[in-house]
């Protein structure tokens, strides 16, 4: 997956996280799962950037 696609997924997941937190609360299982998904995406892109040196967007 290209970095630009990952950045798009990060933004979409971040929006879902905010929406879930406002509807279900910060400690809801749904919000926590979305937060973990976002963490995975962010960690992936950070590791990729470290190995390449910079972004390609």
User: Could you report the per-residue pLDDT of 3-50, keeping only the tens digit for each?
Assistant: 889 999 999 999 999 999 999 999 999 999 999 999 999 999 999 888
Q: What is the pTM of this model?
A: 0.83
Say whether pLDDT at 51 is over 60. yes
Which long-range contacts (C-beta less than 8 Å, at least 24 apart) are formed by 10-18?
10/38, 10/41, 10/42, 10/45, 13/37, 13/38, 13/41, 14/38
* The pLDDT value given to residue 57: 57
């Amino acid at each position: 997956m290209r970095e630009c696609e990952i950045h798009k997924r990060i933004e979409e997941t971040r929006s879902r996280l905010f929406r879930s937190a406002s509807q279900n609360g910060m400690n809801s299982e749904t919000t926590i799962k979305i937060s973990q998904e976002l963490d995975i995406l962010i960690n992936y892109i950070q590791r990729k950037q470290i190995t390449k040196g910079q972004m390609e967007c």
